[in-house]
Amino acid sequence: MVTYGQSQAEKLAAENEVCRQIVREVANLGISQRQALFVMYLMATELENGEHMKALTRLVRELGGDDLFLIGKPLVDVEMGGTHGTIDG
């Protein structure tokens, strides 16, 4: 029997290798734990399956805690006893 082209398993293996290369490149940038979670969040928002996107973004938000999204977070001035603007403005 002669087979032409790649089998499904070979195609998946090649796609997985590309994914590993992407992860290696990102890891080589020296990102922090928070940045890794934020990248995962952003990647999840690119998913076509809406339910998967919602489940993954919810999980990443839970794991990342309050520090995951710093933009727009109120600044708390402990000495003055209140909030003063936001981190991004």
- Please check the confidence at residue 37 and state whether its pLDDT lies above 80: yes
Question: pTM higher than 0.75, yes or no?
Answer: no
- Spatial contact of 63 and 37, defined as CB atoms under 8 Å apart: yes
| Average pLDDT along the chain | 84
Q: What pLDDT digit, counting tens, does each position of 55-78 carry?
A: 999 999 999 988 888 665 555 555
Domain boundaries along the sequence of the chain: 8-86
Diameter of the chain measured on Cα atoms: 79
pLDDT of residue 66: 82
Number of other CB atoms surrounding residue 86 within 10 Å: 12
